[in-house]
Structure 1
Amino acid sequence: MKPTTRGTLAAVLTGVAAALGAAAEAPAVAAETVPVPVPLNGVENALNVQVPKIAGELPVPMPGAPEGPRYVEGRLIPEHALPQLPVTGGLPGADVRTPLPHILGHGFDHLGVGAPAADLRTLTPGLSTDTPLTVPSADNLGLPRLPQAAVLPPLLKTTPGANLEMGSRA
């Protein structure tokens, strides 16, 4: 085999391996939350007591595409000089379960609080400016109107929720 043929074959195999690796990695990147367990088994074994079970979820923020500038008739500068960037993610979630001993009798009950990760949609702050297209005004000492600027506030939309439960441990 010639060295150029070997090099071409190596390049093709490297490209195929990279494509297969990217395809295998795509589901991990597509996850919306990352589970975070809190390992307390060592405490339970060392002290010989029942400890709470704690787990959490951390959201993965995903930036979106900003809305581009809009040109409006009568304005020199586009409507959104600095566009707002949408970011979707979530609020962190938690799941806590703790045993409650029976005061009279045998066994345990449990108390649990579950707060799942809630969707969160945000828009970053933006800037909108307006330069007037006017002639000098006698009312304004011969000057044109001053430019107008507005800071667009950030926007947050979410609906968090939680569950509180008590019962016998099954």
Structure 2
Amino acid sequence: MKSTTRGTLAAVVAGVAAAVASATPATAVGTVPVPVPLDGVEKSLNIELPKIGGELPLPVPGAPEGPRYVEGRLIPERAVPQLPVSGGLPGVGLRAPLPRLLGDDFDHVALDAPASDLRTLAPGLTLDAPLTPPNPDHFGLPEPKLPEVGVLTPLLQTVPGASLAMGPGL
């Protein structure tokens, strides 16, 4: 292979590597913007319409926390683990014109409720067998006991926020 061909190939590979490194995948982005296009209606009716947009979060499943072995139990503590899912609450942005009582300009009212993080855990299950661990006092045989079953409660954590503002101009 000629040196010019190798140089060209190296430049192409370096360019592709740089493009791939700088591009962010869609799953790395926390939200997807959703604009509501009202420009055509605005121009056809010759009036000011609200500017509306939203954000839809992308849910991302996490890795469940595995079972924990506890001394004195035959079955691990979390037989059915809780599955964590992180995502967010949808966001909205609204900016609407308000006519002034005196004058020709418009004021506006704006509502901004950005997408907020949401962390959840699915319900899980914990149970224990109706036998104790081997007992050395009884020649290594387990003793009977009442079985134990428990439901791990689901979890929902978020901190939503919003702002309402009024001001001049649109």
Deviations 1:96-146 (CA, angstroms, capped at 9, x unpaired) = 0000001222100000000011111111111111224349xxxxxxx9333
How far apart, CA to CA, are the structure 1 residues paired with 2:73 and 2:18? 50
1:50 equivalenced with 2:65 (yes/no) = no
How far apart, CA to CA, are the structure 1 residues paired with 2:21 and 2:97? 43
Q: Within 5 A, what are the aligned runs for 1:1-170?
A: 26-134=24-132, 144-169=144-169
| Structure 2 unpaired stretches of 5+ | 1-16, 134-142
How far apart, CA to CA, are the structure 2 residues paired with 1:82 and 1:20? 43
Q: How far did 1:78 drift?
A: 0.5
How far apart, CA to CA, are the structure 1 residues paired with 2:23 and 2:77? 40
How far apart, CA to CA, are the structure 1 residues paired with 2:23 and 2:105? 45
How far apart, CA to CA, are the structure 2 residues paired with 1:112 and 1:55? 12
How far apart, CA to CA, are the structure 1 residues paired with 2:149 and 2:18? 50
| Structure 1 unpaired stretches of 5+ | 1-18, 136-142
Q: Percent identity?
A: 64
TM-score (norm 2): 0.78
Contact 2:48 2:97 in 1 (8 A): yes
Q: How far did 1:87 drift?
A: 1.0
How far apart, CA to CA, are the structure 2 residues paired with 1:30 and 1:153? 29
SS at match of 2:43: helix
Q: How far did 1:21 drift?
A: 8.8
